[in-house]
Each structure stands twice: as C-alpha cells, then as structure tokens.
Amino acid sequence: MRGHVQKSGLTLSNSTTDGVVLIRIGGFLDGHTFVDLERHFDQVIKAGHRRMVLELSGLTYIASAGVGLFINTNHRLKSDGGRVELVNPSPNVKEIFTILGLDAIFTLHEAIEAAVAAAKA
C-alpha cells in the first residue's frame, strides 16, 4: 500500500515493510487536520493492516485531537491483535508526549527498523 496525501498542512505517505504499514506524518496535526489522518488510518485498517509504524520526524505540531487519535487507534488495533509504534518524533512532538506521560502508552523509537520489529512482536 503506497500513497501520498497533502491536505491542510498535513502530509501523509505510506509504505509497507514485512506486513507493517509505515506512515510518515508531517506538518501540523490539529483540530482540522486530524480528520484527514483519521480517515487515512481507517483506510489502512479497512485494507486489513493491524500493525502500524508512525514516523513523526516531519510532524512539527500535534494538538490534543491528534494525540487522542493516536491513543484511540492504538487501542483499536491492540483489541484486534495489532499495535502502533512511534518513531523519530520531532523535538516539539516528543516534548508534548513526555509532558502528557504518553511514554507510558507508546515507546518512542529512534530507528524505523526497531519500530517495525516492535510492531511485528
């Protein structure tokens, strides 16, 4: 599954490695753009994928709606035997995740290979 979408300051691109969908997310994830990402996640899940790696180095801003979407998608996939792994969050996004205590829910990987391996585990 490959694709590239840019809407409202949010960029998304997909690739698949070893049955894991790598989604590169860039730009701003806010109260407006999270709907585009939610639709994107729904399409990936409807295509039968249960393991996602979200590459976040290009994501410069994440609002509470985006954080909620990550948590809900992780819960949705875990309940179906899947998982979400996060890799390379930008400094701003990493700080928000740390402040909110999301490192208790997500492991923030530094390498895509490590995130893909964790998603497959």
Which range marks the domain in which residue 84 is found?
Answer: 3-120
| Confidence (pLDDT) at 41 | 97
| Confidence (pLDDT) at 6 | 46
| Confidence (pLDDT) at 70 | 96
Name the domain count of the chain.
1
| Confidence (pLDDT) at 103 | 84
CATH number of the CATH domain containing 24: 3.30.750.24
pLDDT string in tens for the chain (121-residue length):
455 544 458 999 999 988 999 999 999 999 999 999 999 999 999 999 999 999 999 999 999 999 999 999 999 999 999 999 999 999 999 999 999 999 889 999 999 999 999 999 8
Provide the token pair at 38.
Answer: 């939610």
| Confidence (pLDDT) at 27 | 95
| Confidence (pLDDT) at 28 | 93
Residue 25: burial class (beta carbons within 10 Å; 0-12, 13-18, 19+): buried
CA distance 93 to 74: 17
pTM (2 d.p.): 0.90
| Confidence (pLDDT) at 8 | 53
- Which residue spans within 1-121 are E strands per DSSP? 3-7, 10-17, 20-29, 51-62, 83-87, 108-109
